[in-house]
Amino acid sequence: MTSMSRARVARRIAAGAAYGGGGIGLAGAAAVGLVLAEVQLARRRVGNGTSPHVPNADGLYGRTYTGPADAPLRLTMLGDSTAAGQGVHRAGQTPGALLASGLAALAERPVELRTVATPGARSDDLDRQVALVLSDPGPVPDICVIMVGANDVTHRMPPTRSVRHLSSAVRRLRTAGSEVVVGTCPDLGTIEPVQQPLRWLARRASRQLAAAQTIGVVEQGGRTVSLGDLLGPEFAANPRELFGPDNYHPSAEGYATAAMAVLPTVCASLGLWPAEEERPDASRREGFLPVARAAAEAASEAGTEVTAAMPSGPRGPWALLKRRRRRRVPEQEPTPATPSS
């Protein structure tokens, strides 16, 4: 599918989500039987799931930066197993811990991490997760990171419904005063053991959903980062997770890759990224585009950021497409958060 075709489909999905339209199928009804047959074959070929253990990474990071005027930045992770960090054994290997460590180092302030993400969650679980975040008696998070979408595809949730729930979550968090960064649906077509046509359908479905997610998020004032095929090697190494009860579980290296793709956008949303890198760089194919076209291009290239740029234009809302440099930060373990007095 071309970028322009993906942009048109994404625009229709996002419009259906915004105006309460019915489900727009990611695969034709005639293909459903074939897809289900492929799923059953894939289940037999790739075996069972792995341990449901999720390390508890919540706590205070960057305690050495604490000073009399340095209240911790508050970071909250929402979404599915990718946001929770399922599949690794150490808290410091989870994406939340990696983001908190990196944010603390770049901001030179402590960061308090809270995770409400749930393995196996789909976008309709974001309603519950956001309620948990907003019911906390403390201040709202400075930044919320959402990673969601893979389970929507594997469970064939209508994309309009998926985008509607995600957009609602972003709107509620932004209204409460939190910045929001969304890691969009990863490319599920990278799983080698799964045969055609399921792999092709999975790639098309996940990229279409990622593009539609981008439109919905940007229109609500959030930013997106395309995970695309960043996790491709992890899907290939752990293919059984796609169809298992807990879905995919990237390795520590996979989570580090995803976290480092998201970290620059997290920092930029808080005004912590170098000002010279905020200007679009034409040599890296950055620039202002209609939001649907920016969303389609981002879905095709992992690590690409999309953020709102202009209220509207003759071709609809516009967005800034950025390809930020990723910087690796040292892994840290959390320290227990100090109870508020």
CA-nearest of 71, 79, 77 to 104 is 71
Q: In the chain, where does DSSP find H-type helix? A: 3-19, 29-46, 81-84, 95-107, 126-135, 150-154, 159-176, 198-219, 232-237, 252-269, 291-300
Beta-bridge partners for 146? 78, 182
Report the DSSP pairing between strands 73-79 and 59-61: unpaired
- Residues marked as catalytic: 81, 246, 249
Are the CB atoms for 199 and 156 separated by under 8 Å? no
Orientation angle between helical segments 126-135 and 159-176, nearest 10 degrees = 10
* Secondary structure of residue 105 in the 3-state scheme: helix
Q: Which residues on neighbouring strands pair with residue 304, listed in sequence order?
A: 323
Smallest CA-to-CA distance from 304 within 275, 283, 326 is with 326
Q: How far apart are CA 293 and CA 300, in angstroms?
A: 11
Residues composing the chain? 341
The DSSP element (H or E) to which 111 belongs, if any, is strand 111-115
What is d(CA 34, CA 6) in angstroms, rounded to the nearest whole number? 23
